[in-house]
Structure 1
Amino acid sequence: MTQTPSASPDPTLAALQRLIDVVAALRSPDGGCPWDLAQTPETLIPYVIEEAYEVVDAIRQGKPEAIADELGDLLLQVVLQAQIASEAQQFSLKDVAEGITQKLIRRHPHVFGEVTVADAGEVVQNWEQIKAQEEKASGIERLTPRLERYGRSLPPLTAALKISQKAAKAGFEWDSIDGVWDKFHEELEEFRQAIAQEPKANQQAELGDLFFTLVNLARWHDLDPAEALHSTNQRFIQRFALVEEAILQESDRPLADYSLEELEALWQTAKARLKQG
């Protein structure tokens, strides 16, 4: 009697299971890797952050192979964290997957329910309302705990934007952009005074206030301050590379031997070259 062949396993699920098995083997007390066995959720924090940023860099470069490679490194961190938690009987990768699946279903009633939406903006609005309802049901009604979470978990510039967005949505907002500009000039003057005559801690605090006000100016103009700074960093590196290239072609003098006027001339030439493409 011929048996009906079973359905072939999904190759994606098979690959994921292979990764899970490999990570479990690395963490096995019987023949596992000493480095992996020594890791804790806390010691892996730098790697989670590093891998996330490397994914972002690969996406910005638009290189599919690099994106796939970096996503693999980030996925490893997810599986490794879940493996360590599973060993401590806290949660498993299954719990992680089920949790995010349920959250997506809850927060997309226009896909998995009867709700209708007009556009992506309404989707975001519904998402925030559902999220607020979930937090209220879990006993989180004040905005402060969410702001604290942003401050702890996000890079400072991104956290500042998120904090200001949430506070503004709750009503903690200027009446007009003029008020934001007035605040900027006020903070700039306070920073100048701190630099001139106050201790380092005060200077640092006033610099932070100035940054936060700049973030609010960006928010009012629908600009992303983190992306803006990233672009500026890249432009600086590109221009600096052209300055170094010009110096190497011109002479054997090190960059430090050039005067400020000479460097400014090279810098302006580099800017013009980049502007011309």
Structure 2
Amino acid sequence: MDSETRQLRALEAEVAALQRECRMLQNPGEKASGAWKSFQKFSQSDPEEWESLQDLRSQLGHLKSEVTFLSKLTGFNIRNYSKREDIANTEETENDTKKVLWRHRLSGNCNMVTFQLEFEVLEIETEEKKSSVITDLSIIMEPTEYSELSEFASRAEERRDLLMFFRSLHFFVECYEYRENTFKHFKEKYPDNVHFSEGTCSHCMEIHSARQPGFELVIVWKIQIDEEGKVFPKLDLLTKVPERALELDKNRVIETAPLSFRSLLGVLGIEAALDSLIRLFSADNN
């Protein structure tokens, strides 16, 4: 009977607890009031813990502002990030050496270029030191029309070089923005002479002669990334002139124009060289 009595009382206690919860749900104001009283009681009864919570909140705000600053400074915006331990590849050896394999995944963008990264990091810890090495790297980039970036991403994957990837992508975007702004500037300055078949985002700028119909110069401005990840602009000049003009060009001025343009770039720089070239074709030089 004693055991039955205890079970009965336990059931009655559970029923009473459920009834109290039901009353609180029916009267949410009472519940909120009780929660507020509990919060006040906590903040007053444990000031040290409350101060610690306030400090943590301040630190989180500071970190958030730093992340925002770094995003503006570098141009990178990381949207998603996850990290997990690969249990199957984690081991401890007899020499007190611990090996842990971490799998990382992140996605984000640098201006118009979006990317997804997946990489593995092997951490090796001994009594003397702790080291880590990237064992695998996979890169997906969009949009895919940037052929230079596709080749570069393949090299970064092969070398498993995250630092080179982020550094080179940053400078590539800077060069891309500089080219776009420069093309836009000359289109506004010489609207009758400068033309773009694909807008200012194109890598080609056409210069039409105001004096000689049929004469056209094309500036091909590509952004290259070398084997070491160095980013640099490469500009070439193409000429489109009537066949008769080539026959009359005894001094081979048109033929040597691309080489002369490269020399001009080395002396004046990109913007001044382009400005000089466009002015030669503008109506003001009649």
Structure with the largest fraction of strand: 2
| TM-score above 0.5 | no
Instruction: Provide TM-score, normalisation by structure 1.
Output: 0.29
Structure with the largest fraction of helix: 1
Larger radius of gyration: 2
